[in-house]
Amino acid sequence: LQLALVATHAALPPEVYWKSVLPTTPMPKAITDILYPDFVEEKSTSVSVGKGSGVNVHAGKGGGTNVNVGGKGGGVSVSTGHKKGKPVYVSVGPKSPFNYIYAATETQLHDDPNVALFFLEKDLHPGTKLNLHFTKTSNQATFLPRQVADSTPFSSDKVDDILNRFNVKPDSKEAQIMKNTISECEEGGIKGEEKYCATSLESMVDFSTSKLGKNVEVVSTEVDKETGLQKYTIAPGVKKLAGDKAVVCHKQNYPYAVFYCHKTETTKAYSVPLEGANGIRVKAVAVCHTDTSQWNPKHLAFQVLKVKPGTVPVCHFLPEDHVVWVSK
């Protein structure tokens, strides 16, 4: 599959599509961070998905964005020309703690930094101290243009074809990562939850606005700089975001940006200013679930907070690369 897209004639760049649908809604940092560098300035973007070199996405000038899956280097690597960093290798983690049908594993209870993000709604007030560790996924994959994403298979019954296209060995760690993401996307949601995996920014916009309308606010957690586990204090200025309907989108481990989005009617979202013990400030987004009765009783949140399903609202802060959509 080789495709050259001319931005002026064929596809609107994802950020132009965003502005055309949501002219008054600023794009959150979690999304601007994974757009193509220089896409707007460039007239064309070329994307090739082939057997020879894994998946290669090149966009913009000066190296732009280069996504390489499999290929000679092995691993799932993502590099952005601007950063000139080493490739980023993603690890096979446990099932997502933001998918409520899963039981937590022992290793997850001890090793998953997301454990620290769960708390009870009654503690959501200034002065509360929480030990938190904000992380981004190690996968910095950017969005593919919608045409490329839509023409690239994404289903369990096409796994062999997908791995072949991406030049990933079927028994490799990379293959397991990709299979996990696809299978999580295909599983049914809990009662009252509408779920969808967006494989492009445009499809995320379409799903979220179909559920909430176009008068929306879209937010993500913003951290001054990366830091490990430390004590944070909730500062004055906690603000409930409008509405009890929300679409929450969680970034998945995949060679290009895929978000697991779910809409629930029993969700409240908050903007929460935090101050770290070392002076770091975080503009955090917290989501509180008022009905957890359908969650797996062994879910991470219940084991960490020592509460039972359906008893009290359970909240969690969002990692930096997750996004919340709420009606204004």
Task: List, in sequence order, every residue forming a beta bridge with 197; answer none if it has no partner.
Answer: 260
Q: What confidence tier does 140 reach under pLDDT thresholds 50, 70, 90?
A: confident
DSSP letter assigned to residue 115: G
CA distance 85 to 82: 8
Residue type, 212: L
pLDDT of residue 97: 64
Please spell the DSSP secondary structure of 118-159, one letter per residue.
EEEGGG-STT-EEEE-----S--PPPPPHHHHHTS--SGGGH
Q: Return all residues near 104 (Cβ < 8 A) that are at least 6 apart.
A: 94, 97, 298, 299, 300, 303
> Which span out of 3-7, 181-185, 204-208 was modeled with the highest average pLDDT?
204-208
For the chain, where are the alpha helices, taking DSSP H only?
Answer: 14-21, 29-32, 106-111, 146-150, 159-165, 173-186, 201-212, 300-305
Q: Are 140 and 88 in contact (CB under 8 A)?
A: yes
Q: Is the pLDDT of residue 69 over 70?
A: no
pLDDT of residue 90: 33
Tokens 């997750």 found at: 322
**Chain center to CA of 177:** 15
What pTM was computed for the model? 0.76
Residues in the chain: 328
Pairing between strand 118-120 and 65-69? unpaired
Give the alpha-carbon dihedral of 88, 117, 293, 242, to 10 degrees.
-100
Q: Return all residues near 196 (Cβ < 8 A) that are at least 6 apart.
A: 207, 261, 262
Q: Are 323 and 217 in contact (CB under 8 A)?
A: no
> Which span out of 7-11, 102-106, 231-235, 302-306 was modeled with the highest average pLDDT?
231-235
Helices 14-21 and 201-212, packing angle to 10 deg: 20
Q: Are 325 and 208 in contact (CB under 8 A)?
A: yes
| pLDDT 10s digits, 8-34 | 334 678 889 999 999 999 999 999 989
Q: Is the pLDDT of residue 312 over 50?
A: yes
CA distance 125 to 123: 6
| pLDDT 10s digits, 152-161 | 999 999 999 9
Q: Which two tokens stand for residue 291?
A: 């009905």
pLDDT of residue 161: 95
Q: What confidence tier does 71 reach under pLDDT thresholds 50, 70, 90?
A: very low
